[in-house]
Amino acid sequence: MIEQRDITALVLAGGRGTRMGGVDKGLVPFGDTPLALHAARRIAPQVATVALNANRHLETYRAWGFPVWPDTEPGQPGPLAGFLAGLMHCSTPWLLTLPCDSPLFPADLAIRLAAAATEAGAPLAMAAAPDPDALEGGTAPLRTQPVFCLMHVRLQGELERFLRSGGRRVQQWSRRYGCAIAAFDQPQDDPRAFANANTPGELQALHQPAPVSARPRR
């Protein structure tokens, strides 16, 4: 059984923020709080410790009191570089990654990912949620959320080799390990829990209450 004390959370804020105008997305405010700080505070009660993955404005991030782990791979090649930075520094058996730009992520994210990994006996688990844009016969199929990922630290070497060989896609790497899936498709689950804000308009929309029609039919 994976316990809370076994998990380090890493908030990924190391991207280029291209669709947000090239700004450092982790520092964009969500209400009165920068996105990355909001995510760190939201995930903190679920895990043993929290760190941040950032590649710009490092002193600003460090001022919040969390460890900051920049990418070790050059060129900001994507979330897998953040995964690797986390695995290289992680002092617990498990690392949970999450993006800084999905501020409504579940308050029980860690425990449900841990349960999925435990049940499957897998070294890796990802979240999945109904896709409201792909209804099939009145139901919404599950869509994986690959950056919401729980992984065992023993995967560090394999991930490093995958990146050095030119690999970039999270799902291409994860399918090697029989990745477990944690389904967030229960009636009480927020349909916008994994909505990410790639633009200022999308971020503003997440401030508003979700319309009833936003809940996908199952």
Binding-site residue ranges: 12-14, 25, 53, 71, 101
Residue 32: in which H helix or E strand, if any?
Answer: none
**Is 179 strand, coil or helix?**
coil
For residue 7 the two structure tokens come to 């998990």
Where is the binding site for GTP, in residues?
12-14, 25, 53, 71, 101
Q: What residues are designated binding site for Mg(2+)?
A: 101
Cβ-proximal residues to 35 (8 Å cutoff; 6+ apart), any chain: 13, 25, 26, 27, 28, 29, 100, 101, 103, 197, 203
What residue spans of the chain are helical by DSSP H? 35-43, 58-62, 79-89, 109-120, 156-164, 170-174, 200-205
Hey, is 192 helix, strand or coil? coil
Report whether 135 contacts 217 (CB < 8 A). yes
Query: Could you tell me how far CA 63 lies from the centroid of its own chain?
Result: 22
